[in-house]
Amino acid sequence: MLGKLDWSAIPFDQPIPLVAGAVVLVAILAVLIWVVVKGHLPYLWHEWITSVDHKRIGVMYILLASVMLLRGGSDAIMMRLQQAVAYQSQGYLPPEHYNQIFSAHGTIMIFFTAMPFVIGLMNLIVPLQLGVRDVAFPTLNSVGFWLTATGALLVNISLVVGEFARTGWLAFPPLSELSYSPGVGVDYYAWSLQISGVGTLVAGINLVTTVLKLRTKGMNYLRMPMFCWTTLASNLLIVAAFPILTATLAMLLLDRYLGFHFFTNEAGGNVMMFMNLIWAWGHPEVYILVLPAFGIFSEVVSTFSGKALFGYRSMVLATMAICVISFMVWLHHFFTMGAGPDVNAIFGIASMIIAIPTGVKIYNWLFTMYGGRIRFATPMLWAVGFMVTFIIGGLTGVLVAVPPADFMLHNSMFLVAHFHNVIIGGVLFGAFAGFEYWFPKAFGFRLDERWGKAAFWFTFLGFYVTFIPLYVAGMLGMTRRMQHYDVAAWRPWMFVAAAGMAVLSIGVICQIVQLVVSIRNREALRDRTGDPWDGRSLEWATSSPPPVFNFAFHPDVRGEDAYWDMKAAAQQQSLDHAAPEYHDIEMPRNSPTGFICAFFATIMGFALIWHIWWMVILGGIGAFATFVVFAWRDHDEYVIPAAEVAAIDRINLEERRSLVSMAGAL
């Protein structure tokens, strides 16, 4: 009846996951009860859960990412503590638990923190920057989000029901094959990534289509803000790379469920095939994450320097070059396979070539600052911190692209330090910069600057105190994923890294405090203009938060930095006071399709993991039926009457006029 599931799946003898799971469960229940008792449920259902508004979905993506950042961060704290104490001892985590933690940490941070964070920001901002009213496929957008959430949910269920993979975040066979990992851990891993992978692919298709097909009047490709360009590049990579991940994991699952031999030791399976395939996805994935971050920094540096982006066309070229070359370098993840000198050298050099457009980007940001009038608001601090940190990460990255150096550093703590250097210093700093920068746009009030700056400094310093020691440990021969060790020379560095983790945690706490303080002081921090940073692109041309239809009129774009030009023009010739003529606006209706579909997908995923076949069929039919119902819908749009549009827009226009006349008076 319940497949492999029985009471032994609950880890009654393991206090850490059990207590953690119980606390989370109680917290979730408490929130649910509070929501129901307070009568917020209809609001949540109509305004958020079933919403197909790209802004709402973007916010939910970021919320999911933030929650998972805390989960992945707790894993990181546990790992640092374990390695600090596990010198000539077992530490406090047995290997089977420790191995789950580092596997979960990697999986969560990449798939359920970094990915939703950047996809959330793209969802929130790109349609606004393009001057359009929604993404190309609003309901699909909601489906994509909820499927991602399903994956995250399954990973977290594994905390208390069964186990998570103990194979590392890429589940290399043959270790991940049934004979060496007979438990459900790898199944949790694979099914949660299969389901969330569909969500990511859908989001990618949606955003590519949005950028290619939905741009406002005059917004040709070479007038798009840099963030739209990096969004395009990143989502093209998603569309090209995620099917590889899906296919690879499907093959692994066929091996595990139906006795196939794609990657087994026996019967002609080939583990190196998995290595090639997973990195053919895995390397582009790195750029899927970091390209949007580059876009965010481009916006931030340009806005806070009070200048247009330096060398815009050069930046576009660099972005697209990275997009293409990133597909040609995957082999550098396994130089130590013994493939021969020509193969290694060619892939090593190809990997270094990516450093050229990346270096160009750094220099272009540098010259954007040159001759600027730089305001050091929190987003700009993250941007400068990023530039310094990312260069160091780039240096160590090019270093491990030199095959003979990689023969010493492959899989070492040095490598761990390198990719945290680029992912924290690049993606996470970028996500935080974007969060601080666009928060006022999403919610209509700014975030507290003092706590924001404190968060930056603690995170920045904490990062160095944590990861410089790992570079050193790598140079001392320490390899990654050690549950315990007997080498005395490594120990002091593990202590320092643990201390650095504490500083990093303070940074995260500051960020949470910042959010709480800002919400409490929201009236003081209110942004009535819609343009709190003196921005340059179209998202600042509408109110904060934007009305559901974003723009009452499709903005007319006449150059790069569209909104900056409009402001400049308005100041010169004073605003046109003729009352504009408003029209009805059609917007997509809310749809529970995404939520219901994800509900069934969760059931199906859980049942597949535990081999509960009747439930698999139930979930599959449910998910399919949801699509059928959606496909047969009659009314998918509703009309906002012109009068309402006019009322909403006039308030915004008044605020803006007073702002412009004030600026003009100065």
Partner 1 sequence: MNLLDPQGPVAAANSTILVDSVFIMLVIVVPTIFAILAFAFWFRASNPRARYQPDFVYSGRVEMVVWAIPALTVILLGGVAWIGSHQLDPAAPVPGTGSPVRIQAVSLDWKWLFIYPDQRIATVNTLTVPAGAELNFQLTSSSVMNVFFIPQLGSMIYTMNGMVTKLNLRADNEGKLQGLSAHFSGDGFPDMMFDVNVISPLAFPDWVATTAKTDAVLNEESYTKLMQQGIEKNRLTFRLDDPRLFDLIASQHIPPGPGPELLSDAGRPHSGGHDAR
Q: Which of 38, 341, 573, 634 is the binder for partner 1 (CB under 8 A)?
A: 341
Site residues (CB under 8 A) for partner 1, limited to 365-384: 366-376, 384
Q: Which of 123, 150, 234, 305 is the binder for partner 1 (CB under 8 A)?
A: 305
H or E element at residue 638:
strand 637-640
> What's the sign of the alpha-carbon dihedral 551, 554, 555, 561?
positive
Q: How far apart are CA 303 and CA 309, in angstroms?
A: 9
Task: Check binding of 457 to partner 1 (CB under 8 A).
Answer: no
Residue count, binding to partner 1 (CB under 8 A) = 112
Q: How far apart are CA 288 and CA 282, in angstroms?
A: 10
What is residue 4's three-state secondary structure? coil
| Closest to 529 measured CA to CA, from 645, 657, 438, 661 | 657
| Closest to 215 measured CA to CA, from 224, 206, 204 | 224
Q: Which of 487, 512, 516, 651 is the binder for partner 1 (CB under 8 A)?
A: 487
Q: Which of 1, 213, 258, 266 is the binder for partner 1 (CB under 8 A)?
A: 266
Task: Check binding of 222 to partner 1 (CB under 8 A).
Answer: no
For partner 1, the closer of residues 132 and 360 by Cβ is 360
The stretch among 30-38, 45-53, 121-129, 472-480 that binds partner 1 (CB under 8 A) is: 472-480
Task: Check binding of 78 to partner 1 (CB under 8 A).
Answer: no
Task: Check binding of 252 to partner 1 (CB under 8 A).
Answer: no
| Closest to 356 measured CA to CA, from 313, 387, 384, 325 | 325
For partner 1, the closer of residues 461 and 646 by Cβ is 461
Six token digits for residue 593:
């399709």
Spatial CB neighbours of 341, under 8 Å, sequence gap ≥ 6: 403
Q: Which of 192, 235, 298, 364 is the binder for partner 1 (CB under 8 A)?
A: 364
Q: Which of 58, 73, 127, 162 is the binder for partner 1 (CB under 8 A)?
A: 162
Task: Check binding of 453 to partner 1 (CB under 8 A).
Answer: no
Task: Check binding of 552 to partner 1 (CB under 8 A).
Answer: no
| Closest to 368 measured CA to CA, from 384, 356, 381, 382 | 384
DSSP line for 245-300:
HHHHHHHHHHHHHH---SS-SSTT--HHHHHHHHHHHHHHHHHHHHHHHHHHHHHH
> What's the sign of the alpha-carbon dihedral 162, 193, 290, 146?
negative
Task: Check binding of 478 to partner 1 (CB under 8 A).
Answer: yes
For partner 1, the closer of residues 489 and 625 by Cβ is 489
For partner 1, the closer of residues 392 and 470 by Cβ is 392
Site string for partner 1, 188-207 (x = CB under 8 A): --------------------
Task: Check binding of 2 to partner 1 (CB under 8 A).
Answer: no
Measured in degrees and rounded to the nearest 5, phi and psi for residue 42 equal -60, -40
Quote the least distance from Cβ 402 to partner 1, whole Å: 5
Q: Which of 429, 435, 610, 630 is the binder for partner 1 (CB under 8 A)?
A: 610
Q: How far apart are CA 586 and CA 566, in angstroms?
A: 26
Q: Which of 337, 502, 548, 653 is the binder for partner 1 (CB under 8 A)?
A: 337
Q: Which of 19, 30, 395, 629 is the binder for partner 1 (CB under 8 A)?
A: 395
Task: Check binding of 163 to partner 1 (CB under 8 A).
Answer: yes
Q: Which of 63, 81, 325, 353 is the binder for partner 1 (CB under 8 A)?
A: 353
Q: Which of 262, 334, 432, 460 is the binder for partner 1 (CB under 8 A)?
A: 334
Q: Which of 308, 508, 509, 517 is the binder for partner 1 (CB under 8 A)?
A: 308
Dihedral (C-alpha) 644, 646, 651, 654: value to the nearest 10 degrees?
-170
Quote the least distance from Cβ 384 to partner 1, whole Å: 5
> What's the sign of the alpha-carbon dihedral 651, 657, 660, 664?
negative
CA distance readout (Å), 68 to 110, 303, 327, 476? 10, 30, 28, 33
CA distance readout (Å), 270 to 15, 177, 263, 265? 39, 12, 5, 7
Q: Which of 114, 241, 252, 387 is the binder for partner 1 (CB under 8 A)?
A: 387
Site residues (CB under 8 A) for partner 1, limited to 83-122: 94-97, 99
Q: Which of 45, 180, 464, 553 is the binder for partner 1 (CB under 8 A)?
A: 180
Task: Check binding of 524 to partner 1 (CB under 8 A).
Answer: no
Q: Which of 392, 470, 501, 601 is the binder for partner 1 (CB under 8 A)?
A: 392
Task: Check binding of 483 to partner 1 (CB under 8 A).
Answer: yes
Q: How far apart are CA 206 and CA 148, in angstroms?
A: 15
Q: How far apart are CA 285 and CA 279, in angstroms?
A: 9
For partner 1, the closer of residues 391 and 509 by Cβ is 391
Count how many residues are written for the chain.
Answer: 666
